Structure 1
Amino acid sequence: MFGLIGHSTSFEAAREKARTLGFEEFAEGDLDVWCSAPPQLVEHLQVTSATGKTIEGAYIDSCFVPEMLSRFKTARRKVLSAMELAQKNGIDITALGGFTSIIFENFNLLKEQQIRSTTLEWERFTTGNTHTAWVICRQVETNAPKLGIDLSQARVAVIGATGDIGSAVCRWLSQRTGVKELLLVARQAQPLLDLQQELGGGRILKLEEALLEADVVVWVASLPQTLSIDAASLKSPCLMIDGGYPKNLDTKASGNGIHVLKGGIVEFFSDITWQMMEMAEMDNPKRQMFACFAEAILLEFEGIHTNFSWGRNNISLDKMDLIGAASLRHGFQALGLSAQIDPTPALTTA
């Protein structure tokens, strides 16, 4: 059995979800009420692979909302309690979705294996980052040529290059895709230097410098609310992959020749009867989902009950190959740009 741990995109969205599900006490409650609310197993579901295999799963709402990020103890407790609930329900492999995986990594919750009377078994959980990284790379490889961008001659900026997903994307694009040049952007200098040495190349730049040069921008860092992008300064065409969370890059960058694609989203080959992706505002909620969630589904299909994606900067190309092949075999497809694309103006990679 697989599990998915998620949360609402905002406090107001969470209250609306609670109202829809019949939890009136939460729907009418303030943020303090939600801070004390326990996680809820809100949905059971079945998924059938393109191979014909059917598996069962459950969705657990952590009752966390982004407005709680500044409350360290609350955020920590929300994630650990949701993991405890998954384990107590006998779920074999559970993906941490949205901010839950970010909280787990950034707050180093590996130190907190004991939650009340439960000792968490780490092998039951995955961040889903390996599949997310593979999907983002596939989105670059598939959609850039549609815009007339020759990746062998293109400069690709990775914003958040030293993170778990970002570093994996850099390894893949450098070693498998063979882009002309990687432009590496992150907050801390030393991890960038370490990554550059590991890759044997790539140019370290500030964000504003990288945006001026990039034919493709892969954004896997949190998007600052104060960020302002001069669309006129971007190359045209320019493919921008919004791999962060929440996905709002399209509100910062728009204009002729700029193509923003929601990164790390996959579409299943058939409908799934569930409510949670409607809450996540997917364009096709019966088929689309976050790639991190899909990783738990894939691991259950494959019978791999282990913490497949765990820690920071541990994603290997071999693991990306494995989960990518499973993704295709079971009927997932990376989200792409609309078929109605005008690739003009012509390629500008000089």
Structure 2
Amino acid sequence: MEKRKLGTQGLEVSALGLGCMGMSYAYGAGDDAESIAVIQHALDLGITLFDTAEMYGPFTNEVLVGKALKDRRDEAIIATKFGFVIEEGVRQYKANGRPEHAKKVCDEALKRLGVDHIDLYYQHRVDPNVPIEETVGAMGDLVRAGKVRFLGLSEASPATLRRAHKEFPISALQSEYSIWERGVEEGVLATCRELGIGFVPYSPLGRGFLTGTAKRAEEYPEGDFRRTQPRFEGENFDRNMKIVDAVKAIAKTQGAAPGQVALAWLLAQGPDIVPIPGTKRRKYLEENVDAARLHLSADDLAALDEAAPRGAASGERYGSAALLDLLDK
């Protein structure tokens, strides 16, 4: 698989990574044995970037990823995150960017992952009550201590990126980006490129919507994150399916799956883009990997841009006001 650079500090990863969240959190019951097989098969297929976080579970996803990569640590780039409040094992949609917290979670994550360093350490959400310089300063201490190699932020605004990068070099920003969520095109991507920061889109398949297999919110089982997502509800669902129809039309001409078209569209947005689609099954992993070899023509890209311009998706990104409030403006 093609390799891409994230930032200018030396971090190089596969053009597609693997988002591991859904193996332990948000998308129904997990199957650890199959998830481990998926992670190991991803390595066989050329994927090197594996994305997890303390919040996924919480904690259990890091343990799972560490177990899967234990015997192949040198082949993998492990990314994890801190920054949410977790009280008595229950995740809270509140941010904690205090310097001592960043360091404490790092030490705990190293133990859960069973590694001596984290390759890419993200602040999961910007804490509005802690100056970003203090948080990133502590993260920089972790790099100097050899516990972390590279730093990242998630859902940070251009102004926050500039302040953070001035304090200590940021290698990657991870934020939502896909055919139906293009808000980062309003300044965030340009700032990343100006500063030399790589971009890692999460939810590149629109939480599964862009695969063409999405169901209405109420059809998902209890505990599935999509039951609460406005874009899967009522009239929003119907309007958003028009975007999927355009993706399907391109997929048909390409002899590809809709999800592959969605990933190929992202990869075509620039060589600094590294999407991290998540899956719990080897079948879909292989399908996603094949997207890295799919070439969309200029006409294909123009048709998708016309069908899904910035702001085209109907409904808020999240059903939780607390999560929306933590998107750094």
TM-score (normalizing by structure 2)? 0.34
- Whichever of the two has the greater Rg, that structure is 1
Normalising to structure 1: TM-score of the pair? Answer: 0.32
Q: Of Structure 1 and Structure 2, which has the larger fraction of its residues in helix? A: 2
